[in-house]
Amino acid sequence: MSKLNGWTIQEIVDDPEWQELRASLVGTWKHSPAYNCMLLQKYIEKDPSDMFRYHRVKNYLTGTGFRTKAINHPRIDYLLLVVRTICDLQPLPPKEAE
């Protein structure tokens, strides 16, 4: 299982607000990609000091539909560039040993 600074992807995405947002985006990208990007950006902006928010969005925007360009829009590319840059500059804190 892949880990990021000791965190599994399941731990990273374990946020009810994120799960609700993610579910609300299903099936909407074809008709409202710019609006969806705005929703993702607002999710991050709700607590910009929470690096998990950036990593959740980055993980989401690098999923198969986006990687294969089945889902594409300039706002997606821009948002992904921003979150990748921030994630590179400020990685997740190391997970404390349990």
- Asked whether residue 11 is domain-assigned, the answer is no
- Asked whether residue 59 is domain-assigned, the answer is yes
**Count of the separate structural domains present in the chain:** 1
Range of the domain at 50: 32-92
pTM here?
0.92
- Asked whether residue 8 is domain-assigned, the answer is no
- Asked whether residue 69 is domain-assigned, the answer is yes
Token representation of residue 14? 């374990």
- Asked whether residue 15 is domain-assigned, the answer is no
- Asked whether residue 36 is domain-assigned, the answer is yes
- Asked whether residue 73 is domain-assigned, the answer is yes
Distance in angstroms (rounded) separating the CA atoms of residues 31 and 10: 29
CA distances 54 to 5, 10, 26, 41, 63, Å, are: 15, 15, 19, 9, 15
By the 8 A CB rule, do 37 and 79 touch? yes
Q: Is the pLDDT of residue 1 over 60?
A: no
For residue range 25-71, list pLDDT tens digits in order: 999 999 999 999 999 999 999 999 999 999 999 999 999 999 999 99
Placement of tokens 């993702």 in the chain: 40
Percent of the chain residues topping a pLDDT of 90: 85
Distance in angstroms (rounded) separating the CA atoms of residues 32 and 52: 25
